[in-house]
Amino acid sequence: MPRRNKSALFVLGVYLSLAMTLPVSAAVGYFMGILLDKAFGTHFLYVVFLILGIVSGFVQLIRQVMRDSPQ
């Protein structure tokens, strides 16, 4: 299946959104952990969810790079 050429603006949009994936996923995990810490009265869930957010950001980053790399 031949790959069609994508416009430069489309590729720019894909990689700009990819650049925001890691910080946004880390922030979402952190804030979810903060909310759960307040709900359950704990002080460690923010770290757990921060790590989960960072890992999910890296997974998405790797998936996109693998999808875009020539085979």
pLDDT of residue 4: 67
- Residue reference for tokens 């085979």: 71
d(CA 12, CA 22): 17
Cβ neighbors of 13 (< 8 A, separation 6 or more) are none
Cβ neighbors of 4 (< 8 A, separation 6 or more) are none
When pLDDT is averaged across residues 52-69 and rounded to a whole number, the result is 91
% of the chain at pLDDT higher than 90: 61
Whole-structure pTM value: 0.80
Q: Which helix (H) or strand (E) holds 22?
A: helix 8-40
26 versus 7: which is more confidently predicted? 26
